[in-house]
Amino acid sequence: MSAMENDQAPWDMSRRGFLKGVGTGAVATGLMQGATDAEAASALRSGKPVGPGAVPITLNVNGTHRWLNAEPSVTLLDALRNRLDTTGCKKVCDRGTCGACTVMLDGDVVYSCSVLAIEAQGRKIVTAEGLGTPEAMSAVQESFVENDALQCGFCTPGFVVATTAFVRDHPNATLEEVREGMGGNLCRCGTYVGITKVAYDLAKKGDA
Indicate the Cα dihedral angle 18, 43, 124, 8, nearest 10°: 10
Beta carbon nearer to another protein, 18 or 156 = 156
41 binds another protein (CB under 8 A): no
Indicate the Cα dihedral angle 116, 121, 127, 130, nearest 10°: 170
List 9, 38, 41, 50, residue binding another protein (CB under 8 A): 50
63 binds another protein (CB under 8 A): no
142 binds another protein (CB under 8 A): no
List 36, 69, 114, 147, residue binding another protein (CB under 8 A): 114
109 binds another protein (CB under 8 A): yes
- Is the sign of the CA dihedral 152, 196, 186, 140 positive or negative? negative
Min dist CB 83 to another protein, Å, is: 15
# of chain residues touching another protein (CB under 8 A):
38
If residue 196 lies in a helix (H) or strand (E), which one and from where to where? helix 192-205
102 binds another protein (CB under 8 A): yes
Concatenated DSSP letters for 86-139?
--SS--SSSSSSS-TTEEEETTEEEEGGGSBGGGGTTSEEE-GGGT--SSS--H
Residue 190 DSSP symbol: -
138 binds another protein (CB under 8 A): no
Residue ranges in contact with another protein by CB under 8 A: 44, 46-53, 71-73, 75, 94-96, 99, 102, 105, 108-111, 113-116, 118-119, 162, 165-166, 179-181, 183-185
